Structure 1
Amino acid sequence: MAVEDVRGMADEVASLMGTRFGGVRRGRSADLSVMVRRRGGALPRKLRREAAFLAEADQRVDQPRLGKQIDLARAHSAHRALVSHLNGVGKGARWRERALHLGAALALGLVVIGGVAIWILVERGSL
């Protein structure tokens, strides 16, 4: 793992936080430091510290001398812990949302088919 990988890890965690907790406009992405400031309170205390560490490491990557001082093992473990936590958040809600979308699609299909059937009956003069 290299220092350049820290930026990708921070971006992944920031996008997961934006997806799970909100705080980012649709089609936009935010820095991890911004997401920690906005929605860091939704994380458990230990993971909040890890997110703050990863955000600080992300800011240090731009400066070569400070980038060499990053604890890559801790950054990797922080990333792993945050991603595993954020992937598990809201599984039930996402499942319910998918089921609701499927039900809505089926209901719309039935309404359209019913409308077409009524239109056909009216055109034939059967109704």
Structure 2
Amino acid sequence: MTRKPDSFEDIPAMADEIAQLMASRFGGARRGERFDLSTMVRRRGGALPDRLRRKAKRLAEADILARSPRIARQLPLADLGRAHAALLAHLQPLGEIARFQGRAISLTATVVFGLLLLGAAIIWVMVGRGTL
């Protein structure tokens, strides 16, 4: 949802989208669990830059206030739309597939480095015994 919010009814959808992106990028939720944005900001908000953390807190407060229609009509939709767009731009570039590939490459590099060290230790022991 990258469009400008038309009404206060769009705010919960924007907050849910940011909460899901935070959970997928920073962790904090088990598979199948869904938390609201205020919980995710409290749990993993420290992983965001200060500027974006303030925007996430503002969006989380707006999500809570959007439950009351009289108060929700007074919320600044343009500011919340910009906050959502900034958070989306920060959280979205690394998708779930890219993170999985990064973890797989990291694990593979760790195993290869371990095997390299093991091979070096074996060669060192063989040279020390005089068999090589």
TM-score, normalised to structure 1's length?
0.72
Within 5 Å, which residues of 2 pair with 1:98-113?
none
Letter in 1 for 2:50: R
Large movers: runs of 4+ above 2 Å: 88-100
Q: What residue in structure 1 maps to residue 42 of structure 2?
A: 37
User: Whole-Å Cα distance in 1 between the matches of residues 75 and 25 of structure 2?
Assistant: 27
Task: Give 1:69 shift.
Answer: 1.4
1:58 and 2:63 correspond = yes
Q: What SS does the corresponding residue of 2:51 show, helix, strand or coil? A: helix
Within 5 Å, which residues of 2 pair with 1:75-90?
75-89=80-94
Task: Give 1:95 shift.
Answer: 3.5
User: Whole-Å Cα distance in 1 between the matches of residues 83 and 101 of structure 2?
Assistant: 27
User: Whole-Å Cα distance in 2 between the matches of residues 6 and 77 of structure 1?
Assistant: 12
Letter in 2 for 1:96: G
> How many residues are matched?
101
After TM superposition, the structure 1 stretch with the greater mean CA deviation from structure 2, 85-94 or 54-63, is 85-94
After TM superposition, the structure 1 stretch with the greater mean CA deviation from structure 2, 27-36 or 86-95, is 86-95
Q: What residue in structure 1 maps to residue 19 of structure 2?
A: 14
* Identity score, percent: 50
User: What root-mean-square deviation, in Å, do the aligned CA atoms of Structure 1 and Structure 2 show?
Assistant: 2.2
User: Whole-Å Cα distance in 2 between the matches of residues 17 and 46 of structure 1?
Assistant: 15
Letter in 2 for 1:41: G
Letter in 2 for 1:64: P
Q: Which runs of 5+ in 1 are unaligned?
A: 104-127
Q: What residue in structure 2 maps to residue 96 of structure 1?
A: 102
Q: What residue in structure 2 maps to residue 109 of structure 1?
A: none
User: Whole-Å Cα distance in 1 between the matches of residues 47 and 94 of structure 2?
Assistant: 11
Q: What residue in structure 2 maps to residue 107 of structure 1?
A: none
1:4 and 2:21 correspond = no
Task: Give 1:96 shift.
Answer: 2.9
